[in-house]
Structure 1
Amino acid sequence: MTDTRAAYVPRSAYGLHIGGEEISAADAFEAVDPSVGTPWAEIPQASAADVDRAVAAARGAFASWRRSSPATRQELLWRLADAVEAEPERWARLLATENGRPIREATVADVPTCAAILRFFSGVLRDLRGDQIPVEAPDTLIYTVREPLGVIAALIPWNSPLITLANKLGPALAAGNTVVLKPSEFASASVLEFARLAQGILPPGVVNVVTGFGPEVGAALVAHPDVQKVTFTGGTPTARKIMAAAGEALTPAIMELGGKGAMIVCADADLDAAVADALTGIYMANGEVCVAASRLLVHADVHDEFAQRFTALARTIKIGDALDPATQFGPLVTAQQRDRVAAAIARARGEGAEVVVGGSAPELPAPLDNGFFLSPTLLADPAGGTSASQEEFFGPVTVLEKFTDDADALQRANATRYGLAAGVWTRDLARAHRMARELEAGIVWVNKWFDLPVGVPMGGVKDSGFGRELSAETLHEYSAPKVVNVDLSVARPRLWGEG
């Protein structure tokens, strides 16, 4: 760590973004740098009245935005991507300061991925089209057109705000909708900075941002009668509250929720690759990711060797300031999140799980000793009987289990309420295809983990949510078909009056 930390400094005080203007709020709260535990910015606290104004602005802008040409929307989304990509170092520094994402990861992952998603939807929007429907009547022509829904309420989490923002805005805007964004209170600055960038590119009111705490701002937004769809990425308990509120207004939703990803390592796996992928799968983004490899199901024949290799590498991970390019692993986003994960580790230990590596806060020099750090952790639970094998920790904790045959591995992998990501490591492709078919997950990786290229449908089953993001079919989530039924004749059967 350098003697002088180059934390991100806002160019000016932050405000809400409503109707193309940045406006102040009556109250504010502090954004805290998780590497050192000190405030670095003030975030505006919106009110229910601010939410009303934001939705009204989005509704007003929808009238013209929905009629904009595909070429216009295509160009503006591309310009947004260019603008993000023009300052990669600034965005990476902001993310490291905001949520503890190691700056080396933010530079190579978050910034280019955000731009790539916007560019993808800029291009694929040209394929948003209806169909002609064949019918028996020769004088009838029926076709459909796809139309935007209206105002979209987008609620995004703190772990990858720039990527998640693009996942929501890209398809929603491409389909002709307008958006009100509500970021997490723990990662609002990056979304506000994006809104500043968009202000000079998009028409007023097309994208609006209201910041603040969920019970005040999020609740008012998802229950608003003028919101036509809710899209949420986050935890399952919060999703249940959002669904209840949206249900009162009969508002449909897209839910990208939690996971308990099972990585199955067969006896014939390439152990070097499997261990490397397992480390990346759980410790990338400080373990705060829904598709994390948070369960390692390893065949009994290679279990001990896998554990030895994994443990040896895990002990060498460089923990430090997220702003330091040499840091491989940073802090958790808040002290509360660190304590929540630590409590989950303690609960699993009480149930019989063993800490193989990590399990506690690392010893770091000042000022990092006030940061929200928790060491990369591996728990051993051979039978998979503790809460560590069932509950999403959303932190740098994975659990090592032992299985004896494919049926055993599949049964245990599927024995959770989640179904987002899973993976199989084997040299036998027939086995890989069979296991992929049986795994209850929206994403199944074979001999890799964490690969989500733009264009691949992302989403889960069971308690991991519904709807798909990141792909061409996502445009259908943000549009609806309208049927046009045309009579090409003038003849009518005699049904009324005298024959």
Structure 2
Amino acid sequence: MTAPVAAARGAYVPSGDYTLIIGGEPVATDDGFDAIDPSVGTPWTRLPQATEAHVDAAVAAATRAFATWRRTTASHRQRVLWEMADRVEAEPDRWASLLATENGRPIREAYAADVPTCAGILRYFSGLARDHRGDQIPLEDPGSLAFTVREPLGVIAALIPWNSPIITLANKVGPALAAGNTLVIKPSEYASASVIEFVRAVEDLVPAGVLNVVTGFGPSVGAALVSHPGVAKITFTGGSATARRIMAAAGGALTPSIMELGGKGAMVVCADADLDLAVADAMTGIYMANGEVCVAASRLLVHESVHDEFAERFAALARGIVVGDALDPATQFGPLVSAAQLERVRGCIDAAVAQGAVVRTGGAAPELPAALDGGFFLAPTLLEDPAGATSASREEIFGPVTVLERFASEDAAVARANEGPYGLAAGVWTRDLARAHRIAGALEAGIVWVNKWFDLPAGVPMGGIGDSGFGRELSAETMLEYSAPKAINIGLGDTRPALWGR
């Protein structure tokens, strides 16, 4: 793609050559790799490939900065995070264009979701910074006073995925900084530019070394970071298989972690559901962010009495989705992030069909203008698997593919929804309040929605169970993940029991 063509599309223009950021300084590397614009399949910038030595330097810089940052006041950290949010909100065009160019996020979604959500998360943790404290502990001994204080951990290794990079970055940076930690950030190779740009935009607000960025491929850079003895905690958002490798590598140093992993979200639609709302929420639940989201509504368990009507409505709306260039404001659904991801999702569809699933709509490349021939596009897809017997009903696809299942009884729906290793998000649609409480209580997931989907407001814990991970983000509880309690026990009495001597 030539520069004039890129400019005509509104593709993002980098703020300069991309480098690592270590100790507040740009650090060039000897090696690098191309960032690919997924709408057209061509390079749009070059990204630096870090080495193990760069990781060592970044951890050392963060360690030095921790000595200063941990002693800043809560009110200072509050102001810093608030100003970071201001800076994100001040340039919505910049972030929206960057995300659309970098990972194929439809630009209308970037404006409506990514920019305000990123800023909102930073503001939320800004507020919590001044409320982060320990507790007084009641004791029976009147001669003792015991209390706890919360202390920061040290250097946090933050591994950021490619699907919602600035939102996930805010989920890590916000609580880590609010609690007094420093960070070494390793973004996905498919979404490194947005992380570098964010840190460039805010690094003057913190001492050098508080925020460091090392980019490159997981088996080299990521592995060096998560096994580093100077890291106090790891926070990772991504897939379960990668999480297992990270935890194995971290085991040598006994480094604790927060794992926000994948899911296979089951949406249970009861016979009395408002189908207009249920279909609309199911569409948003699977096709928002091009289906590349861990809380996707990727299983639709619909009662047999309304199954066919639901299927007709859903398929009709899916066929009408406007697919196109992520930079086009008219686009409702963009490309997948990479050629490899597109191939993987296609393989999942083929496997499910071979096992008996039926493609109701989608499943192939959409018809698009010739200028987008190189893009990584797949039409929004609905599979039908009435008994939930194929891999599409069990395995996370992480793409714009949902599977429609049929159930006859509430117990059967709950049992099927709880099958499999994941436990991140689930939901139920019903007008019956008792049924809503009953099913919500029975669904085994960290997040359960009732008559809605994809609502993740700051303050509500986000996280899963089983293969969906552990730890909670986006809430007051998150601050506890980034600090440790220190117990202080003070003797106030002036007598001691006679235990020694004659």
Same fold, TM exceeding 0.5? yes
Moved over 3 A (4+): none
Matching residue of 1:403: 407
Q: Does 1:290 align with 2:279?
A: no
Matching residue of 2:93: 89
Matching residue of 2:270: 266
Q: Does 1:458 align with 2:455?
A: no
Query: Aligned to 1:434, what secondary structure does the other structure show?
Result: helix
Matching residue of 1:240: 244
Q: Does 1:496 align with 2:500?
A: yes
Give me the whole-angstrom Cα distance separating, in 2, the residues matched to 1:77 and 1:27: 33
Matching residue of 1:63: 67
Q: Does 1:9 align with 2:10?
A: no
Give me the whole-angstrom Cα distance separating, in 2, the residues matched to 1:493 and 1:415: 59
> Of the candidates 360, 380, 383, which is equivalent to residue 384 of structure 2?
380
Q: CA-to-partner distance for each residue in 1:285-332, whole Å, 9 max, x for gaps?
A: 000000000000000000000000001110000000000000000000
> Of the candidates 416, 425, 429, which is equivalent to residue 425 of structure 1?
429
> Of the candidates 416, 422, 441, which is equivalent to residue 412 of structure 1?
416
In the TM superposition, what are the counterparts of 1:115-264 in structure 2 within 5 Å?
115-264=119-268
Query: Aligned to 2:205, what secondary structure does the other structure show?
Result: coil
Query: Aligned to 2:423, what secondary structure does the other structure show?
Result: coil
TM-fit CA distance, 1:3: 9.6
- Where structure 2 has 5 or more consecutive residues not aligned to the other structure, the ranges are none
Letter in 2 for 1:341: V
Give me the whole-angstrom Cα distance separating, in 1, the residues matched to 2:229 and 2:466: 28
TM-fit CA distance, 1:126: 1.4
Tell me: CA distance 1:166–1:2, structure 2 relative to 1, closer, same or farther (3 Å).
closer
Give me the whole-angstrom Cα distance separating, in 2, the residues matched to 1:213 and 1:405: 47
Q: Does 1:38 align with 2:42?
A: yes
TM-fit CA distance, 1:408: 0.5
Matching residue of 1:302: 306
Give me the whole-angstrom Cα distance separating, in 2, the residues matched to 1:317 and 1:11: 33
> Of the candidates 481, 495, 499, which is equivalent to residue 477 of structure 1?
481
TM-fit CA distance, 1:466: 0.3
TM-fit CA distance, 1:236: 0.4
Letter in 2 for 1:459: G
> Of the candidates 98, 101, 106, which is equivalent to residue 102 of structure 1?
106
Q: Tell me the TM-score normalised to structure 1 length.
A: 0.99
> Of the candidates 49, 53, 57, which is equivalent to residue 57 of structure 2?
53
In the TM superposition, what are the counterparts of 1:311-322 in structure 2 within 5 Å?
311-322=315-326
Q: Tell me the TM-score normalised to structure 2 length.
A: 0.98
**Is residue 2–residue 324 contact of structure 1 (8 Å, CA) maintained in 2?**
no
> Of the candidates 351, 356, 373, which is equivalent to residue 352 of structure 1?
356
TM-fit CA distance, 1:494: 2.5
Letter in 1 for 2:248: A
Give me the whole-angstrom Cα distance separating, in 2, the residues matched to 1:447 and 1:189: 37
Q: CA-to-partner distance for each residue in 1:88-141, whole Å, 9 max, x for gaps?
A: 011000000000000000001000100000000000121111111111111001
In the TM superposition, what are the counterparts of 1:335-374 in structure 2 within 5 Å?
335-374=339-378
Query: Aligned to 2:198, what secondary structure does the other structure show?
Result: helix
Give me the whole-angstrom Cα distance separating, in 1, the residues matched to 2:150 and 2:9: 50
Give me the whole-angstrom Cα distance separating, in 2, the residues matched to 1:11 and 1:139: 62
For these two proteins, the number of residue pairs brought into alignment is: 498
Give me the whole-angstrom Cα distance separating, in 2, the residues matched to 1:124 and 1:135: 28
**Is residue 21–residue 213 contact of structure 2 (8 Å, CA) maintained in 1?**
yes
Q: CA-to-partner distance for each residue in 1:179-207, whole Å, 9 max, x for gaps?
A: 00000000000000011012221111111
TM-fit CA distance, 1:366: 2.1
Q: Percent identity?
A: 72
> Of the candidates 114, 123, 143, which is equivalent to residue 118 of structure 2?
114
Give me the whole-angstrom Cα distance separating, in 2, the residues matched to 1:113 and 1:102: 15
TM-fit CA distance, 1:496: 2.3
Letter in 1 for 2:380: P
Give me the whole-angstrom Cα distance separating, in 1, the residues matched to 2:6 and 2:239: 36
Give me the whole-angstrom Cα distance separating, in 2, the residues matched to 1:197 and 1:219: 27
TM-fit CA distance, 1:393: 0.2
TM-fit CA distance, 1:367: 1.9
TM-fit CA distance, 1:489: 1.7
**Is residue 103–residue 190 contact of structure 2 (8 Å, CA) maintained in 1?**
yes
Q: Which moved more, 1:195-204 or 1:387-396?
A: 195-204
Give me the whole-angstrom Cα distance separating, in 1, the residues matched to 2:174 and 2:457: 15
**Is residue 377–residue 398 contact of structure 1 (8 Å, CA) maintained in 2?**
yes
Please give the root-mean-square deviation of Cα atoms over the aligned residues, in Å: 1.0
Give me the whole-angstrom Cα distance separating, in 1, the residues matched to 2:414 and 2:122: 37
**Is residue 363–residue 369 contact of structure 1 (8 Å, CA) maintained in 2?**
no
Q: CA-to-partner distance for each residue in 1:44-91, whole Å, 9 max, x for gaps?
A: 000000000000000000001001001110000011000111000110
TM-fit CA distance, 1:215: 0.7
Give me the whole-angstrom Cα distance separating, in 2, the residues matched to 1:143 and 1:308: 61
Query: Aligned to 2:248, what secondary structure does the other structure show?
Result: helix
> Of the candidates 11, 20, 28, which is equivalent to residue 24 of structure 2?
20
Matching residue of 2:471: 467
Q: Which moved more, 1:296-305 or 1:481-490?
A: 481-490
> Of the candidates 74, 77, 81, which is equivalent to residue 81 of structure 2?
77
Give me the whole-angstrom Cα distance separating, in 1, the residues matched to 2:41 and 2:94: 21
Tell me: CA distance 1:346–1:56, structure 2 relative to 1, closer, same or farther (3 Å).
same
Give me the whole-angstrom Cα distance separating, in 2, the residues matched to 1:495 and 1:311: 81
Letter in 2 for 1:12: G
Letter in 2 for 1:301: S
Give me the whole-angstrom Cα distance separating, in 1, the residues matched to 2:490 and 2:61: 36
Give me the whole-angstrom Cα distance separating, in 2, the residues matched to 1:369 and 1:428: 48
- Where structure 1 has 5 or more consecutive residues not aligned to the other structure, the ranges are none
Query: Aligned to 1:227, what secondary structure does the other structure show?
Result: coil
**Is residue 75–residue 129 contact of structure 2 (8 Å, CA) maintained in 1?**
no
**Is residue 58–residue 151 contact of structure 1 (8 Å, CA) maintained in 2?**
yes
Give me the whole-angstrom Cα distance separating, in 1, the residues matched to 2:84 and 2:415: 45
Query: Aligned to 2:467, what secondary structure does the other structure show?
Result: helix
Letter in 2 for 1:384: G
